Structure 1
Amino acid sequence: MKKSKFIITLVFLTIGAARVWAQAPKPYGPTPSARQKEWYDREIIAFFHFGINTFEDYVNEGDGKASTAIFNPTSLDCNQWAQTMKLAGISTGILVAKHADGFCNWPSAYTDYSVKNTPWRNGKGDLVKEFTNAFNATGLKSALYLGPHDRHEHLSPLYSIPKYQSYYANQLKELLTNYGPIWETWWDGAGADELTTPVYTEWEKIVRSLQPNCVIFGTKNSYRFADVRWVGNESGLAGDPCWSTIDSISIKDESAHIKELNEGQVNGNAYIPAETDVSIRPSWFYHPEEDKDVKTPQQLWDIYCNSVGHNSVLLLNFPPDRRGLIHPIDSANVVQLRHIIDETFANNLLAGASIKAKNGRGGIYKTSNLIDKDPNSYYATKDESSTDEIIFKMKSTNTFDCLMIQEVIELGHRITEWTVEYADDGKSWKSIPGASNKQSIGHKWIVRFPSITAKYIRLRITKGNASAALHTFGIFKQSSKLKKQQGKYITSRCNLDIHNYTGFFGRI
Structure 2
Amino acid sequence: MKTIILCLLTVLTISSCSQSNGVLIETSNTFKISSTNSKDSIILKAAHVVPTKNQYEALKNEFIAFIHFGPNTFTRMEWGNGKENPSIFNLQNLDTDQWCKAMKAANMKMVIFTVKHHDGFVLWQSRYTKQGIMSSPFKEGKGDVLKELAASCKKYDLKLGVYLSPADLYQIESKDGLYGNGSSYSNRTIPTQVKGRPFKNKTTFKFKVDDYNEYFLNQLFELLTEYGPIHEVWFDGANPKSKGNQKYNYLAWKELITTLAPKAVVFGKQDIRWCGNESGGTRASEWNIIPYQTNPKTMNSFSDITADDIGSREKLYAAKFLHYQQTEINTSIREGWFYRDDKNQKVRSVDDVFDIYERSVGGNATLLLNIPPNREGKFSPTDVQVLENVGKLIKETYSKDLLEDAKGPVEVLDEDEASYKLLTNSSITITTPEPITINRFVIQEAILTHSERIEKHVLEAWFVNDWKEIATATNVGYKRILRFQEVTSNKFRFRVLESRSQPAITKISAHYYKTRPPQLTIERDLNGMLHIQTKKHDFRWKPHGEDISKNINSGVEIRYTLDGSAPTKESELYNEPLFLKYGEVKAAVFTKNDTGSIASSVFGVVKKDWKLVDVDSEKRQHEAVKAFDSDTDSYWSSNTANTHHLSLDLGKENNLMGFSYTPQIENSKGMIESGILKISSNGKSWTVFEHFEFGNLINDPTKRTHYFKKAIKTRYIKIESTRIAGGNKNAAIAEIDFLVQ
TM-score by length of 1: 0.80
Counterpart selection for 2:95 from 74, 77, 95: 77
Matches within 5 A, 1:57-456: 57=76, 59-156=77-174, 159-160=179-180, 162-191=210-239, 199-218=249-268, 223=269, 226-249=270-293, 254=303, 257-259=306-308, 269-289=322-342, 293-355=346-408, 367-381=409-423, 385=424, 388-411=426-449, 412-427=451-466, 429-432=467-470, 435-436=471-472, 438-456=473-491
Whole-angstrom CA distance in 1 between matches of 2:261 and 2:389: 34
Q: Which residue of 2 aligns with 1:504?
A: none
Per the alignment, do residues 290 and 300 of structure 1 end up closer, same or farther by CA in structure 2, a change over 3 Å counting?
farther
CA contact under 8 A between 1:229 and 1:261: conserved in structure 2? no
CA contact under 8 A between 1:101 and 1:152: conserved in structure 2? yes
Instruction: Indicate the structure with greater helix content.
Output: 1
Q: Does 1:40 align with 2:59?
A: yes
Q: Which residue of 1 aligns with 2:648?
A: none
Matches within 5 A, 1:476-495: 476-479=511-514, 482-483=516-517
Cα displacement string for residues 217-271 of structure 1 (whole angstroms, at most 9, x for unaligned residues)? 11xxxx3xx2111111112233121112212446978467443569896786111
Question: Is the partner of 1:61 in helix, strand or coil?
Answer: coil
Whole-angstrom CA distance in 2 between matches of 1:33 and 1:454: 39
Q: Which residue of 2 aligns with 1:25?
A: 22
Q: Which residue of 2 aligns with 1:464?
A: 499
Question: How far apart are 1:192 and its partner, in Å?
Answer: 7.3
Per the alignment, do residues 348 and 142 of structure 1 end up closer, same or farther by CA in structure 2, a change over 3 Å counting?
closer
Cα displacement string for residues 333-364 of structure 1 (whole angstroms, at most 9, x for unaligned residues)? 11211111111123333443444xxxxxxxxx
CA contact under 8 A between 1:238 and 1:262: conserved in structure 2? no
Q: Which residue of 2 aligns with 1:364?
A: none
Whole-angstrom CA distance in 1 between matches of 2:414 and 2:226: 43
Whole-angstrom CA distance in 2 between matches of 1:393 and 1:79: 45
One-letter amino acid matched to 1:347: K
Whole-angstrom CA distance in 2 between matches of 1:116 and 1:124: 6
Whole-angstrom CA distance in 2 between matches of 1:61 and 1:331: 25
Cα displacement string for residues 67-102 of structure 1 (whole angstroms, at most 9, x for unaligned residues)? 211112222111211222222222211110000111
Q: Which residue of 1 aligns with 2:663?
A: none
One-letter amino acid matched to 1:315: L
Q: Which residue of 2 aligns with 1:498?
A: none
CA contact under 8 A between 1:266 and 1:413: conserved in structure 2? no
Whole-angstrom CA distance in 2 between matches of 1:321 and 1:457: 48
One-letter amino acid matched to 1:138: Y
One-letter amino acid matched to 1:469: A
Q: Does 1:50 align with 2:50?
A: no
Structure number with the bigger relative contact order (C-alpha 8 A, sep ≥ 6) is 1
Per the alignment, do residues 263 and 184 of structure 1 end up closer, same or farther by CA in structure 2, a change over 3 Å counting?
farther
Whole-angstrom CA distance in 1 between matches of 2:388 and 2:305: 37
CA contact under 8 A between 1:341 and 1:479: conserved in structure 2? no
Whole-angstrom CA distance in 2 between matches of 1:198 and 1:80: 36
Whole-angstrom CA distance in 1 between matches of 2:351 and 2:305: 33
Cα displacement string for residues 27-61 of structure 1 (whole angstroms, at most 9, x for unaligned residues)? 5422111111111111111111000100003x111
CA contact under 8 A between 2:287 and 2:310: conserved in structure 1? no
One-letter amino acid matched to 1:410: L
CA contact under 8 A between 1:291 and 1:329: conserved in structure 2? no
Question: Is the partner of 2:249 in helix, strand or coil?
Answer: helix
Question: How far apart are 1:311 and its partner, in Å?
Answer: 0.6
TM-score by length of 2: 0.56
Cα displacement string for residues 370-401 of structure 1 (whole angstroms, at most 9, x for unaligned residues)? 223443432222xxx4x512233443443322
Further displaced range: 126-135 or 305-314: 126-135
Question: Is the partner of 2:153 in helix, strand or coil?
Answer: helix
Question: Is the partner of 1:288 in helix, strand or coil?
Answer: coil
Segments of 5+ residues of structure 2 without an aligned counterpart are 1-18, 28-46, 182-209, 521-534, 538-595, 598-741
One-letter amino acid matched to 1:401: N
Further displaced range: 160-169 or 100-109: 160-169
Q: Which has the larger radius of gyration?
A: 2
Further displaced range: 244-253 or 298-307: 244-253
One-letter amino acid matched to 1:420: L
Question: How far apart are 1:484 and its partner, in Å?
Answer: 7.1
Whole-angstrom CA distance in 2 between matches of 1:303 and 1:130: 30
Equivalent pairs counted in the alignment come to 444
Whole-angstrom CA distance in 2 between matches of 1:394 and 1:180: 46
Whole-angstrom CA distance in 1 between matches of 2:254 and 2:232: 12
One-letter amino acid matched to 1:424: F
Question: Is the partner of 2:329 in helix, strand or coil?
Answer: strand
Question: Is the partner of 1:185 in helix, strand or coil?
Answer: strand
One-letter amino acid matched to 1:274: T
Per the alignment, do residues 447 and 168 of structure 1 end up closer, same or farther by CA in structure 2, a change over 3 Å counting?
same
Question: How far apart are 1:127 and its partner, in Å?
Answer: 1.2
Whole-angstrom CA distance in 1 between matches of 2:312 and 2:94: 39
One-letter amino acid matched to 1:343: E
Whole-angstrom CA distance in 2 between matches of 1:191 and 1:323: 29
Whole-angstrom CA distance in 1 between matches of 2:248 and 2:105: 42
CA contact under 8 A between 1:369 and 1:379: conserved in structure 2? yes
CA contact under 8 A between 1:294 and 1:330: conserved in structure 2? yes
